[in-house]
Amino acid sequence: MARRRCGVEVRLLGEVVVLAGGRPVDLGPARQRCVWAALALDANRVVPVERLVERVWDEPPLRARAVLTSYVSRLRQALAGHDGAVGLVRRSGGYLLEADESVIDLHRFRALAARTGDVDALTGALALWRGEPLAGLSGPWVEAERDRLRQERLAAEHDLVDARLAAGQGAELVAELAARAAEHPLDERVAGQYLLALHRAGRTADALAHYRLVERRLARDLGTDPGPALRELHRRLRDTDPDPDPDTAPPVATGPVPRQLPAAPPHFTGRDAELTALTAAAERGGAVVISAITGAGGIGKTWLALHWAHRNLHRFPDGQLFVDLRGFSPDSEPMDPAVAVRGFLDALGVPPGRQPADPSAQTALFHELAAGKRMLLVLDNAAGAAQAAPLLPGGSTCTVLVTSRSRTAAAVAGRELALGVLDDTEARDLLTAKLGAGRTAAEPAAVTELIRLCGGFPLALGIVAGHAHTRPHLPLSVVAADLRDLGLAALEDSDPTASLPAVLSWSLRALTPDQRRAYALLGTAPGPDIGLPAAASLVGLPRDEAAAVLAALEHASLLTRDGHDRHRMHDLIRAHAADTAHDLPEPERDAALRRLLDFYLHTADAADRAVYPSRGTLALDPPAPGVHPHPDFDPATAMAWFDAEHPNLLAAHHHAAARGRHRTTWDLARSLHSYHQRRGHLHDRITVWRAALAAAAHLPDPGALIQAHRLLGTAQALLGRHEEAFEHMHRALALAEEHRDPTHQAHTHRMLALAWERQGDDRRALEHITRSLHLHRALGQPVLEADALNAVGWYHARLGDYDTAREHCLAALALQRDQADDGAVANTLDSLGYIDHRTGRHAEAVEHYRQALDRYRELGITYEYTDTLDRLGHPHAALGQRDRAREVWREALRLYRHQDRDTDADRVRRQLDELDGRPG
């Protein structure tokens, strides 16, 4: 029997969470949370014990039932006191989660999504999603459920679009459907929705052009024509447009569509003339539209740019790019334009590992990708024209907004909007938006006084409003009197920012000592933003107390928070906070920064060990008291944490290096290495390891210096900087031999093999990998020996010595299977498939490739999966299995295009053409 709802929420559509009275219930470690999720998905239905075991463990432990019983017992204890809403019950053969299904977000989603024609119901259903479903959990069952839930969400999204179209909408949907059509280029339902929306937006020519694009794709990739429903829609649209001209139709988005804009600013008021000017410039057309928004810090430049951008998303169906160039950041240098270009390329679907090494080539590629796209670029906080100029796209279809405190930025723009302070009406509207019309109408004279005292400066007005908002019973006249007592009335109005320091100092008086201390320390933290766990370590408070302190600073408008619990300060506020930190004793400031560095280091180390379990353990000192490292990672959550914290980790690494914290500098570099390797962040790898190399010279461990040379050289080799690569690797090898360290010698020979392969010399690569193999074998390192064995086999195969290649790969496979290293097994099976095909053993090649694909699929390794799928087509074709070859090559073609691997996609397209031209 389902239970009554009693203030409990069960969330599965995002991180797995239970809230009781608005507070999270501790569900324990990942496998225990997996038990909860397995029962919650089947709420009010008995789940047999055997099925629970299969869901929770890929390979169950010996006493799986006993462990499961323990997990259920702990979950019951965690839920004690909330039995009126949910309960875990033992039933014959299994367990049952009794619950009112309305407390479970997934079941609420399904109930709402079932109302397929109801816009409000479908909107409410999709609003329940908070990210990837079952986030924080992993395993085959979880991945399968996650995929199924994604499909349910996608179906609801499609149903919502249908419902909105049925309600007469069209133009409002164009930007959303442009992104969806790019993501699902062969989905005829999406194509039909997009055609209809374009038509209703008065863009029938675009709709007809997109139909032709879909028609070509279906014929090329699937060998089919559009279905009858899409053909009929096309006929009706064609007949309503007497003269569709395909040559004049604007380009339709066909690649990844970036959506980088931060959220629209709340409580935006005024600036009507500037908004009108920006719209007029965008409508004028011609050359690329560039508008510079200049003015003092805190005057509202970024808010104006974002407000206009969000109001005009329909103009930019090909996406929006945003970058904070940090031109006036108080604690870091302005961003190198090359770094911003690499970020844009990543957003446009070019992963770091496939970007050109030369910065000028990267810029040229960005210009090529932006050409012809109706896209918005927001270059925020530019230092001036020199920083902004390399980021400007060519052509005539993009719009660029540049914000800067320097009027020199206007040199690259066709139009400058110089912002001043708000006039009385705009300032009054801002205070009313924040405080409510009733409160400002009740004290009009006090409102006028506040505007005068703040000089119409938006940032100062926002802080004053935040202070007053948290004290709803305090008369505004009292707030104005407090400000007058600070002497604000005597300030000159020639500098719009003049009121800010006094307003900030006044605002701090209302804070508690802990809040004032946190404000000061946050001003010293390296990095563009900070998460709650890091902030708690910085200020040395328990997490719940730190959360309350951050909330107080947010309510006082001294801190902003985005939807992912990232907190940041405006540059001017941050500079003021850093100044106030000088009032704290120097040992207290140093201890706070040490705690923050310890948090980043220990959490990065834990995340790295989850990503790369066979990595050697770092001998870290214990974290300082008050540090709260992340307690539990699996590979997926580890990579997500690295993604979120990467800019802060780089800033922390730079901070440590600049202050001579040599051990921390090296350890952070090592903890970041696997992440940089997987994400392809080669330039960041080089920056980090250069600093680590300098730090290693001060460390007593020669291995640190050897490893820094080797890993810096590896990154240089991958970027094609061969001279520098060999210089560092040979230095690493010489040091390893000097110190008689065979492990580092083996690792360095392995990387020298990679460098020679990159140079195109497989024979010298084989020489080095053979030395590596002998050393790993002599040292009794089976994991590394197996990797080297496979590499030896691979190089022999590339040189045509297939018997020797097979011998080494089979030896590698035996070791890898003993170690249950599925990723390495998949790599070696792929090598064996290559060898079999090259020696005419095509049936065996198919089997080896299939086994490799199964493991890549289970591990979620898509890059290598696609390569193996591509190679699988060749033995199928050699066996005369043309249909199977065509099937796998079409799938490889789809995946290569999804990964934006254009060269590989073109090669597979040629393979398909050749296949269809063969007699058979």
How far is C-alpha 655 from the chain's CA centre? 23
Report CA dihedral (456, 462, 467, 469) to the nearest 10 degrees: 110
Choose one of 509, 533, 549: the last residue of a domain.
509
Choose one of 474, 491, 509: the last residue of a domain.
509
Per-residue pLDDT at 468 exceeds 80: yes
CATH number of the domain to which 107 belongs: 1.10.10.10
Contact residues for 125 (Cβ-Cβ < 8 A; gap 6+):
108, 109, 110, 112, 113, 156
The answer as to whether 573 is a domain residue is: no
Q: Do 110 and 84 lie in a common domain? A: yes
Considering 46-55, 370-379, 475-484, 651-660, the range whose residues carry the highest mean pLDDT is: 651-660
Q: Do 298 and 345 lie in a common domain? A: yes
| Per-residue pLDDT tens digits for 229-263 | 788 888 888 776 433 332 222 223 334 678 888 87
The answer as to whether 346 is a domain residue is: yes
Name the strand (E) or helix (H) holding 373. Answer: none
Q: Do 294 and 237 lie in a common domain? A: no
d(CA 910, CA 873): 13
Query: pLDDT exceeding 70 applies to what percent of the chain?
Result: 90
- What was the pLDDT predicted at 681? 80
CB-CB neighbours of 740 under 10 Å: 8
Considering 83-97, 269-283, 603-617, 650-664, the range whose residues carry the highest mean pLDDT is: 650-664
The answer as to whether 159 is a domain residue is: no
d(CA 255, CA 213): 13
Q: Find the domain containing 197 and state its range.
A: 169-248
Banded model confidence at residue 579, pLDDT cuts 50, 70, 90: confident
Q: Do 414 and 439 lie in a common domain? A: no
Average pLDDT over residues 439-444: 91
Banded model confidence at residue 692, pLDDT cuts 50, 70, 90: very high
Q: Do 243 and 347 lie in a common domain? A: no
What is the pLDDT of the chain when averaged over all its residues? 84
Q: Do 235 and 280 lie in a common domain? A: no
Contact 53, 60 (CB under 8 A): yes
Contact 302, 403 (CB under 8 A): yes
Which residues does residue 399 pair with via DSSP β-bridges, in sequence order? 289, 376
Contact 577, 522 (CB under 8 A): yes
CATH number of the domain to which 238 belongs: 1.25.40.10
Report CA dihedral (184, 167, 102, 96) to the nearest 10 degrees: -40
Banded model confidence at residue 223, pLDDT cuts 50, 70, 90: low
- What was the pLDDT predicted at 639? 83
Q: Do 232 and 317 lie in a common domain? A: no
| Per-residue pLDDT tens digits for 635-644 | 778 888 998 8
Query: pLDDT exceeding 90 applies to what percent of the chain?
Result: 31
d(CA 682, CA 353): 7
Per-residue pLDDT at 208 exceeds 80: yes
Pick from 420-429, 482-491, 854-863: least confident? 482-491
d(CA 594, CA 525): 10
Q: Do 142 and 178 lie in a common domain? A: no
Per-residue pLDDT at 908 exceeds 80: yes
DSSP one-letter code for 19: E
Q: Is 824 exposed, middle or buried (0-12, 13-18, 19+ CB in 10 A)?
A: buried
Average pLDDT over residues 284-291: 70
- What was the pLDDT predicted at 245? 32
d(CA 122, CA 160): 6
Q: How many domains does the chain have?
A: 5
Number of residues assigned to the chain: 920
- 3-state SS of 133-175 is CCECCCCHHHHHHHHHHHHHHHHHHHHHHHHHHHCCCCHHHHH
The answer as to whether 407 is a domain residue is: yes
Banded model confidence at residue 605, pLDDT cuts 50, 70, 90: very high
Contact 600, 665 (CB under 8 A): no
Average pLDDT over residues 262-286: 81
Average pLDDT over residues 364-392: 84
Banded model confidence at residue 356, pLDDT cuts 50, 70, 90: low
Give residue 818's identity as a one-letter amino acid code: D
Name the strand (E) or helix (H) holding 376. Answer: strand 376-382
- What was the pLDDT predicted at 863? 62
Average pLDDT over residues 9-37: 87
| Burial per residue of 825-848, b for 16 or more beta-carbon CB atoms within 10 angstroms, e otherwise | bbbbbbbbbbbbbbeebbebbbbb
d(CA 671, CA 645): 13
- What was the pLDDT predicted at 659? 93
Average pLDDT over residues 628-633: 81
DSSP one-letter code for 355: S
The answer as to whether 652 is a domain residue is: yes
Q: Which residue has the higher pLDDT, 854 or 503?
A: 854
Per-residue pLDDT at 509 exceeds 70: yes
Pick from 315-319, 359-363, 866-870: least confident? 359-363
Structure tokens at 848: 């080896």
3-class state of residue 842 by DSSP: helix
Choose one of 103, 119, 149: the last residue of a domain.
149
The answer as to whether 65 is a domain residue is: yes
Q: Do 649 and 627 lie in a common domain? A: yes
Based on C-alpha coordinates, what's the Rg of the chain? 30
- What was the pLDDT predicted at 140? 80
- Quote the pTM value: 0.58
3-class state of residue 294 by DSSP: strand
Per-residue pLDDT at 860 exceeds 60: no
| Per-residue pLDDT tens digits for 702-743 | 999 999 999 999 989 877 788 999 999 999 999 999 999 999
Per-residue pLDDT at 898 exceeds 60: no
The answer as to whether 609 is a domain residue is: yes
Q: Vertex 330, ends 325 and 331: CA angle to 5°?
A: 90
* Main-chain dihedrals φ then ψ at residue 633, nearest 5 degrees: -130, 145
Considering 463-477, 562-576, 591-605, the range whose residues carry the highest mean pLDDT is: 591-605
Q: Do 414 and 287 lie in a common domain? A: yes
Pick from 116-125, 248-257, 298-307, 441-450: least confident? 248-257
- What was the pLDDT predicted at 563? 55
Contact residues for 352 (Cβ-Cβ < 8 A; gap 6+):
342, 346, 679, 680, 681, 682, 683
Q: Do 445 and 340 lie in a common domain? A: no
Helices 228-240 and 188-200 cross at an angle (nearest 10°) of: 20
DSSP one-letter code for 564: T
Q: Do 90 and 117 lie in a common domain? A: yes
Average pLDDT over residues 565-589: 87
Per-residue pLDDT at 786 exceeds 50: yes
- What was the pLDDT predicted at 862? 65
| Per-residue pLDDT tens digits for 86-98 | 788 887 778 888 8
Per-residue pLDDT at 354 exceeds 70: no
CATH number of the domain to which 378 belongs: 3.40.50.300
The answer as to whether 372 is a domain residue is: yes
